[in-house]
Amino acid sequence: MHRHFEHALDALKTDIIRMSSLAEQAIAGSIRALLERKPELARDIISNDDQINLMEVRIDDAVVDLLALQQPVASDLRLILAALKINNDLERIGDHAVNIAESAVQCAEHEPIKPFEDITEMARITKEMLRDSIDAFIHSDPEKSRQVLANDDSIDALNKKVVSDLVGVMREHPDRIEHALDLIRVSRNLERVADLATNIAEEVIFIAEAQVVKHHLDKRGAWH
């Protein structure tokens, strides 16, 4: 029975790794479609979202089976429920990739405008956050989770900068308003992906240290 449980838990972790790879690839692909102006690639990302959705359902089913058959308690139970939440977070990341891909299709019809560099940097950091948060979950590594939390501030700052730059573009070039809006949408979607990676990281810290950092006190002493 015990060996059986360990085996099922490993299988669940492997599924979460696969699911996170799909989500990561979707984000990377949607950003590449935007930067390299490839609407066909963007359409692929949109249609491939099925795979992520189906995988979410499959992992949910595996969790139900695991809980029903093995009836885990204490830390095993918390770990499995965390996997359920992470699964849901990853599916949402897939949805954000679809949003970015939709904007990439729109953007390909217009002359490129700045600030692509900041969006590239946001995508790079976000991808790292997602990968680190999943690594932290797989290896129960709260220290790695804390790195993810620290990176979230950079993403928020970059998002603010991108929005402010694009407001400037809109003011000077009213004919580019719709294009700029699409880029703002991309930036906000990346910010949301970073938030979801942060959720995953907080979940890992919560399990590891059995303390609620999810709604942690921020620097101003107020609830974050």
The residue ranges that bind a copy of itself (CB under 8 A) are 47, 49-50, 53-54, 56-57, 60, 63-64, 67-68, 71, 73-74, 77-78, 81, 84-85, 88, 163, 167, 170-171, 174, 177-178, 181, 184, 212, 214-215, 222-223
- CA distances to 18, 64, 66, 68, 115 from 5, rounded to whole Å, are 20, 13, 8, 12, 50
Question: Residue 10 Cβ, how far from a copy of itself at the closest point, in Å?
Answer: 21
The burial of 196, by beta-carbon neighbours within 10 Å (0-12 exposed, 13-18 middle, 19 or more buried), is given as buried
Nearer to a copy of itself, 14 or 211 (CB): 211
What is the Cα–Cα distance from 170 to 138, expressed in whole angstroms?
44
Nearer to a copy of itself by Cβ, of 14 and 47: the residue is 47
Q: Which residues contact residue 9 at a Cβ distance below 8 angstroms, ignoring those fewer than 6 apart? A: 66, 76, 79, 80
Please count the helices (runs of H) and the strands (runs of E) in the chain.
Answer: 6, 0
Q: Which is nearer to a copy of itself, 16 or 84 (CB)?
A: 84
Distance CA 164, CA 140 (A): 38
Instruction: Give the nearest distance from C-beta 20 to a copy of itself in angstroms.
Output: 18
If we measure between CA atoms, which residue out of 1, 135, 178 comes closest to residue 76? 1
Report the residue number, 140 or 211, with the smaller CB distance to a copy of itself: 211
- Output the smallest distance, CB 15 to a copy of itself, in A: 16
Nearest distance from residue 116's CB to a copy of itself, in Å?
20
C-beta closer to a copy of itself: residue 15 or 128: 15
